[in-house]
Amino acid sequence: MVDRKILIGFTLILGFMTARHQMSAAHTEKRVELIVFAASSLADAFQAIGRDFDTANQDIHVTYNFAGSQQLLQQIVQGAPVDVFAPASRKQIDAAVASDQIDSSSVETFAHNRLVVIVPKKNDAGLKSLHDLARPNLKIVLADKAVPAGQYTVEFLDRFSRGRSADKQFKEDVLKNVVSYEENVRAVLSKVVIGEADAGIVYTSDISRDTAHRIDRISIPDSLNVIGDYPIALSKNAKHRDAAQRFVEYILSANGQATLSEFGLLPAAAPAKR
């Protein structure tokens, strides 16, 4: 016969575990889902920030949609549910504001980013300088002009071509080598990493710890580089406006800015040279 004390003890433990599970389930149910649309170049940094933010805000869980800024804009204009929008250019924020989807009074610049040329680690093409990009018969991959990285890349090529007379054909010669235009910079990075391209142009923030050892960089000097502004804003139709505001405040906080810096982004206070 089972000892009465053991049976009572077992019943108490089971009851405690059941109550704890119910409390945990109730806590999970109370968490609001904060939907953040963010440029693909923010993926690594925002995922790290999301983990820290979730830990510090037990009543909120951040869900991300990462894609090209123009693609995200189209989704927002078409009515996709979103609480926070963080594209890689002011142009997309302005368009979202014009479509009456984004609260113009909430717009803040939270970071800056810069371009860099990347080549595969093997570098079979032997590319060592910016001038080498104009050599014939290369395979270069760029972001599409519809997204900020593509627009900034064209501006960089224009700046280079406005230099010495010997560089006048630089932009034209580089564009002759382009084999594909990608919808976001992550796709450019991927093609260079796997060796499908001799070179590509991405943001410094796109080079993660997982890919840094698989590529080499050719720096673009400040006089030629285009420093992109990253804005963030709340949706007019934000389902969880308070949670959205807390997320933006965390991004702008010292901890949020430090995390962005760890992933290659320039802090909001940094001067944006153009």
- Residue 248 Cα distances to 98, 128, 148, 221, angstroms: 21, 40, 21, 31
pLDDT tens digits, 201-260: 999 988 877 888 999 999 999 999 999 999 999 999 999 999 999 999 999 999 999 999
- What local confidence, expressed as pLDDT, does residue 29 receive? 56
What pLDDT sits at residue 269? 77
Confidence (pLDDT) at 179:
98
pLDDT in tens, 59-96: 999 999 999 999 999 999 999 999 999 999 999 999 99
Q: How confident is the model at residue 25 (pLDDT cuts 50, 70, 90)?
A: very low
Judge whether residue 271 has pLDDT over 70. Answer: no
pLDDT band at 30 (very low <50, low <70, confident <90, very high): confident
- How much is the pLDDT for 22? 44
The better pLDDT of the pair 1, 181 is held by 181
Q: For residue 270, name the pLDDT band (cuts at 50, 70, 90).
A: low
Q: What contacts 159, CB < 8 A, 6 or more positions away? A: 223, 224, 226
Architecture of the domain whose range is 31-112+229-267 = 3-Layer(aba) Sandwich (3.40)
pLDDT tens across 119-142, in order? Answer: 999 999 999 999 999 999 999 999
Domain ranges of the chain: 31-112+229-267, 115-218
Instruction: Identify the pLDDT of residue 16.
Output: 47
pLDDT confidence of residue 166: 65
**Mean pLDDT, range 22-45, rounded to an integer:** 77
d(CA 190, CA 204): 14
| pLDDT tens-digit readout, 165-210 | 667 899 999 999 999 999 999 999 999 999 999 999 999 988 877 8
| Four-way CATH pick for 115-218: 3.30.450.20, 1.20.1250.20, 3.50.50.60, 3.40.190.10 | 3.40.190.10
This prediction has a pTM of: 0.78
Q: Does the structure show a pLDDT above 80 at 18?
A: no
The reply to whether 31-112+229-267 and 115-218 are identical in fold is: yes
Q: List, in order, residues 6 or more apart from 124 with CB less than 8 Å away.
A: 198
